Amino acid sequence: MSNAAAQAYARVANTTLSPRDTEAQALLMAANKLQAVMTNADATYAQMSEALIFNRKLWTIFLSEAQRDENPQPVQVRQNIANISVFVLSQTAALQISPQREHLKPLIEINRNIAAGLSGRA
């Protein structure tokens, strides 16, 4: 498939995704960025920082949405999302201060597990 065709396909796919699928894809993208850093012994601090910043931004969005009064989800679901978000954000911040590749694994697993749940694969 040509690059232009692949880009066109990606644009159409993105416009037809449900919000849950979009969230799942974003979580998988974050997990893949973290995984790439974890498995690459030559990954630089800048690469790790980029992956952590992406993860932090994503989870900041989830936390913000969970706290929004207009969010249609039940309060318990919103509270669970907020609790996971706070945990992920604190772990991400700790890794930005003291980078340790092996400590990326829980973040990767959380992202992948939630993505699977959003996609109906859990």
Q: What is the DSSP letter of 73?
A: S
Tell me the CATH architecture of domain 19-118.
Up-down Bundle (1.20)
Q: Choose among 40, 41, 48, 55: nearest CA to 108.
A: 55
Task: Answer yes or no: is pLDDT of 106 > 70.
Answer: yes
Q: For 29-64, how does the pLDDT look when each residue is reduced to its tens digit (9 = 90+)?
A: 999 999 999 999 999 999 999 999 999 999 999 999
Any residues with CB less than 8 A from the CB of 118 and at least 6 apart, and which? 20, 21, 23, 24, 27
User: To the nearest whole number, what is the mean pLDDT of the chain?
Assistant: 89
> Under the phi-then-psi rule, with left for phi > 0, alpha for psi from -120 to 50, and beta for the rest, what region is 18?
beta
What residue spans define the domains of the chain?
A: 19-118
Q: In this predicted structure, which of 64-68, 83-87, 117-121 has the lowest mean pLDDT?
A: 117-121
Q: For 68-90, how does the pLDDT look when each residue is reduced to its tens digit (9 = 90+)?
A: 999 999 999 999 999 999 999 99
CB of 56 within 8 A of CB of 92? yes
> How many helices (H) and strands (E) in the chain?
5, 0
CB of 55 within 8 A of CB of 49? no
CA distance 77 to 91: 21
> Token match 């800048």: residue?
46
